[in-house]
Amino acid sequence: MTPTEPLLARGPAAPAAVRPPLPVKMVIAGGFGVGKTTAVGAISEIEPLTTEASITEVAAGVDDLTHTPRKTTTTVAMDFGCITIDPTLKLYLFGTPGQERFGFMWDDIVEGAVGGLVIVDTRRLDDCYAAVDYFEHKGIPFAVAVNAFDGRVEHALEDVRWALDVSEGVPVVVFDARERGSVRDALLVVLELALARTER
């Protein structure tokens, strides 16, 4: 018997075990009504978990509905969804509530996240300052995604960068929170940024 005969006698080799995709947590943040829940819903491969509550008369007196007059609900805890990027990687998406009065939840939501996508509405940039400051303070890589409401953006991206006072190392992109492919591309920008951070 030759050395290879015992191996041949065993029959074909068993297929290698398929590993599940690596789970990666990412946060989608921004001000009230900028499109966080919409973005999670557009990209998620599962039915997204949302914690939407009706906007009451009291809340309407606090939250500015000027640019979102048809908005009748708001996130009061978080949104959750997921998307498999490829066989090796799966993103778990956590959307934060936009109002400052729910800011106490952010530390729990963001814990363990590799990066964040801060969605902004250029008609009210001041609504996203808190999110930008949060990620900068925590040292978490993030990108700014300007939501193209009604298919247009009110200001040039460099003007947005200047107004938010973010460094050149923070990507600023335009996307449409309603379009799956557009949301995917914005998330990939954050993912590439986070991977580059780990390779330093």
The residue type of 60 is A
Q: Are strands 52-54 and 73-75 parallel, antiparallel or unpaired?
A: antiparallel
Q: What is the pLDDT along the chain (200 residues), one digit of tens a residue?
A: 555 454 445 555 556 667 889 999 999 999 888 899 999 999 999 998 876 555 444 344 444 545 444 444 554 457 899 999 999 999 999 998 855 655 567 788 899 999 999 999 988 888 889 999 999 999 999 999 999 977 778 789 999 999 999 999 999 999 999 999 999 999 999 999 999 888 76
Q: How much is the pTM?
A: 0.78
Rounded Cα gap, residues 31 and 47, in angstroms: 23
Domain residue extents for the chain: 22-50+76-199
Q: Find out whether 116 and 140 touch, Cβ atoms under 8 Å.
A: yes
Q: Domain spanning 22-50+76-199: which superfamily?
A: P-loop containing nucleotide triphosphate hydrolases (3.40.50.300)
